Amino acid sequence: MAELTSNPVGKNTPRVDAYEKVTGTAIFTDDLQFGPGLYYGRLVRSPHAHALIKSIDISKALEVPGVKAVVTGQDFDTRIGLYLVDRPVFAKDRVRYVGDPVAGVVATSEDIAEEAAQLVEVEYEELPAVFDPVEAAQPDAPLLHPDLGEYKVANFIFPEPGTNISEHFRLRKGDVEVAWPRCAAIVEDTFRLPHIQHVPLEPHVAVALWEPSGQVTLWTSSQSPFAQRDLIAQSMGIPHGNLRVISPYVGGGFGGKAGVSMEVYAVAMARAVKGHPVKLRMTREEEFIGTTVRQALVAHTKIGCDAEGNLLAMETEYYFSGGAYNDYGVNIVRAAGYSCTGPYYIPNVKGDSYCVYTNLPIGSAMRGFGMPEIHWGIEQIMDQLAEKIGMDPAEFRRRNCVKTGDIILTGMKMPAIDLVACIDKVTKAVNWDERRGKARPRPSAPHKKRGKGIAIMWKAPAMPPNPGSSALVRFNEDATVNVEIGAQELGQGAFTVVAQIAAEALGVPYEWVRVSAPVDTKYSPYEWQTVASRITWSTGNAVKAAAEDARRQILALVAEHWDEDPANLDIKDGIVISYKSEREQPLKDMVIYGLPNENFEGWKGGPIVGHGKFMPTYVTNLDFETGQGPRAVVHYTVGAQAVDLEVDTETGQVEVLKIASAYDVGKAINPDLVLAQIEGGAVHGMSSAFEALKFDERGRPLNPNLVDYRIATAADAPRQIHGDIVETPLEDGPWGARGVGEHVMVQTAPAIANAIYNAIGVRFNDLPLSAEKIFMALQ
């Protein structure tokens, strides 16, 4: 590390994010928030996919006026990671993908930092690179992490040192070799999915301040403030109590702002210029390569059924391209392994799910967490099996889908769900019976073909066995309520649902409830992460417990004051009422000041504060060899989608006319928000069928921008999006609720592929479903 000393305010003009005129003076947004001593950071990134770092010369960068410090991997002899601690703060001995950070420059403006970053000279020795996960899993593949056996790893993740395999999950149930001869129909094929990006509207931004006292504050757009505090504190040697993470509303996450990506670099650079906050902002191009992406997948899958359409056996191998570092990706692969059958009861299963290091950007959490990837192949095979035995695809799914009480692939008993009801709702919504023969609806033009497809899904919250949530409920003098949580608002409506849960459990109007923001690890109650579609369920349970705790205190106080049994009291619209004496006591003032004794001879009570927590205690380990165990996950959410579309045979262009979706959410705390998730998820899932992050033969990204990387826009959205809600209460959800935020896009791509086959009779095993690919197949 090298540092230059100077006055806090450099001579260079700070970058202007926004300003307003106040008495003729420009007010800089950054200055208002962080003061004139704010510095800016830029990263020096590797141009090579795989290379040894021979030397780094930072001298020319330090000579640039306005540069305050340059940090490299030599300054940090540590790694960081969630489930597998495999990522250096800055690359030290080798780089493993194009874009791997090797240094960070701190300067008085972003432009100066960028200029100086170009002057950092790095000498590399290129190494053979590997980009395909199947090739990377072979014994003779270039080894990306020779020290894999020395990395700290969670006790449920199983890397294979001496290889590029960072996780291998095995699933064995029954005997597939005995089952195959009994099958009347077997489909076996290979399916491929590319890397795709989250493309949040708001890019990753972090500001870090390392004070001379040792106190560190990180402001960042994050789904995981507490996890970031934990991981960065461990990696950087900071006492947890000295590291504070503040995270306001998140402008789009989709999993890309979970765990730690670029935030640690801001903290590392701030350590070099103590007393000055350092702002690090990803450009749109850096979002594509310098944060995280959804893992690519190669799936070899074989499934068979008998003549009556009963599934008998499945054998699958999943090779996930985890990218250069797999600290989060290993758990995605584990989730794919213990859910490898999709939402089907199959008595004989052999599954192997591999997370494989490749010389590509870091694969990590994305909406669906491995489930969109595995459903892509499974749901197309189910259609093919149904066709082979002459059964309707929807009926085939009704027959074989998981049902309440089934002993599923891991040996776990399936919690209460109704997937058949979801199938019934979506088939009705698209007039499913009209998909063949004379009943088939006419296309809009002679050169177009119309088709309908269906796909179903399941997904469990993929997380450690003990992720906790906590909440506080406290009152103001006028009886309005503050709910304090550590869960994050991503636009999914978490704060709205939390406010509803608190209001219902307390017995006060919803309008009285405020949810405290921003999330601040110094003051907010603990929350593991806002991921896994778990907030309504887990945080909801904690908030409900906190509200019920406050309610008990209130009823006990009033019962003592009235000399009545608390069982005879209730709270309605913010007023304590007695069903026995018919007395009333407003909550106003009493929830802070308490209630007076007779003749005001003293007081009883005091400020009411409710405490609540929730953590599942029943999830068990799974056997290393078989993946069997009593309780693999907390629960599953299930759902179905049906798609009606047209294919232009002259161009290959696909127009999705209608997507119908239905999900079993246990209990819809807010039906409007559930339907909003269904609508947004349908478009997101549709977009994922046409997206692909592309790389050249040297691992360099070809389309890291919103010109060449197309996502679905309002112009591409289906003409109709139909949503239905099924409610089969979950045993431990608040009023039976379970999450649905990710599930709504899991099966969209295979539903589209099945509809395309119904329209033109051609199958596609590889995403994306580009117009060019479809047109060429038609020829």
Q: Residue count of the chain, please give it.
A: 779
The last residue of a domain, from among 587, 614, 641: 614
Catalytic-residue membership of 3: no
Neighbours of 175 (CB within 10 A): 13
Q: Are residues 260 and 308 in the same domain?
A: no
Name the least confident of 213-227, 405-419, 429-443.
429-443
Tell me whether residue 399 is in a domain.
yes
Residue 10's pLDDT band (cuts 50, 70, 90): very low
pLDDT value at residue 435:
86
Give the confidence band of 441 by pLDDT, cuts at 50, 70, 90.
confident
Q: Which residues contact 10 (CB under 8 A, 6 or more apart)?
A: 65, 66, 68, 107, 108, 109
Query: Measuring CA to CA, which residue among 328, 346, 363 is closest to residue 136?
Result: 363
Q: Is the pLDDT of residue 228 over 60?
A: yes
Considering the domain architecture, whether residues 122 and 264 belong to the same structural domain is answered as yes
Query: pLDDT tens across 136-171, in order?
Result: 999 999 999 999 999 999 999 999 999 999 999 999
Residue at which a domain ends, from 256, 281, 306: 281
CATH number, domain with residue 475: 3.30.365.10
What's the pLDDT at 29?
Answer: 60
Express each pLDDT in 458-509 by its tens digit: 999 999 999 999 999 999 999 999 999 999 999 999 999 999 999 999 999 9
One-letter amino acid at 492 equals Q
Please indicate, yes or no, if residue 8 is contained in any of the structural domains: no
State whether 487 and 453 are in the same domain: no
Q: Give the pLDDT band of residue 39 (cuts 50, 70, 90).
A: very high
CA 326 vs CA 53, 155, 239, 295: distances in Å: 21, 15, 25, 10
The confidence score (pLDDT) of residue 422 equals: 98
What is the model's pLDDT at position 5?
35
Per-residue model confidence (pLDDT) at position 9: 32
Give me the residue label for tokens 């599923």. 408
Q: Which domain holds residue 580?
A: 18-27+467-614
Mean of the pLDDT values across residues 52-57? 98
For range 259-275, the mean pLDDT:
98
Element (H, E) at 184: none
Q: Which of 540, 538, 580, 536 is nearest to 558 (CA)?
A: 580
Task: Evaluate whether residue 148 is within a structural domain.
Answer: no
Whether residue 609 is found in the same domain as residue 474: yes
Q: Is the torsion defined by CA of 674, 680, 686, 691 positive or negative?
A: negative
Tens of pLDDT along 587-641?
999 999 999 999 999 999 999 999 999 999 999 999 999 999 999 999 999 999 9
Percentage of residues in the chain having pLDDT higher than 70: 96
Region 327-341 average pLDDT:
98
Q: Residue 174, exposed/middle/buried by CB under 10 A (0-12, 13-18, 19+)?
A: middle
Q: Of 279 and 440, which is predicted with more confidence? A: 279
Q: pLDDT-based confidence at 15, cuts 50/70/90? A: very low
* Listed residue (371, 297, 356, 354) closest to 323, CA to CA: 356
Would you state the pLDDT for residue 342? Answer: 98
Residue 159 lies in a domain: no
At residue 644, the pLDDT reads: 98
- pLDDT tier at 580 (50, 70, 90 boundaries)? very high
In this structure, are 759 and 661 located in the same domain? Answer: yes
- 684 and 758 share one domain: yes
Q: Mapping DSSP to helix (H, G, I), strand (E, B) and coil, where does residue 355 land?
A: strand
Which pLDDT belongs to residue 69? 98
Beta strands in 380-539, from DSSP E residues, in sequence order: 448-459, 469-475, 481-485, 513-515, 519-520
Q: Is the pLDDT of residue 16 over 70?
A: no
Q: How far apart are CA 208 and CA 709, in angstroms?
A: 31
Is 196 within a domain?
A: no
If asked whether residues 670 and 548 sit together in one domain, one would say no
Give the largest Cα separation in the chain, rounded.
Answer: 94
Question: Nearest to residue 196, comparing CAs of 365, 52, 359, 313?
Answer: 365
Answer yes or no: do 654 and 535 share one domain: no
Residue 269 falls within a domain, yes or no?
A: yes
Q: What letter does residue 151 receive in the DSSP assignment?
A: S
In a domain, residue 145? The reply is no
Task: Give the mean pLDDT of 385-412.
Answer: 98
Answer yes or no: do 253 and 302 share one domain. Answer: no
In the chain, % of residues over pLDDT 90: 94
The whole-model pTM stands at: 0.95
Residue 1 confidence (pLDDT): 52
What rounded mean pLDDT belongs to the chain?
Answer: 95
Work out the pLDDT band at 75, boundaries 50, 70, 90: very high
pLDDT of residue 436: 80
Is 7 a residue whose pLDDT tops 80? no
Q: Residue 8 pLDDT > 50, yes or no?
A: no
The predicted structure's pLDDT at residue 14: 37
Residues 495, 363 within the same domain: no
Query: What's the CATH number where 99 sits?
Result: 3.90.1170.50
The string over 705-721, giving b where at least 16 C-beta atoms fall within 10 Å of a residue's C-beta and e elsewhere, is: eeeebebbeeeebbeeb
Neighbours of 140 (CB within 10 A): 6
509 and 605: one domain? yes
455 and 403 in a single domain? The answer is: yes
The catalytic residue among 477, 655, 742, 772 is: 742
Structural domains of the chain, count? 3
Q: Is residue 414 part of a domain?
A: no
What's the pLDDT at 727? Answer: 98
Q: For residue 181, what is the DSSP state?
A: G
Q: Please say which residue of 614, 638, 657 terminates a domain.
A: 614
**What is the per-residue pLDDT for 438?**
75
pLDDT of residue 440: 84
Q: What is the mean pLDDT of residues 751-763?
A: 98
pLDDT tens per residue, range 734-747:
999 999 999 999 99
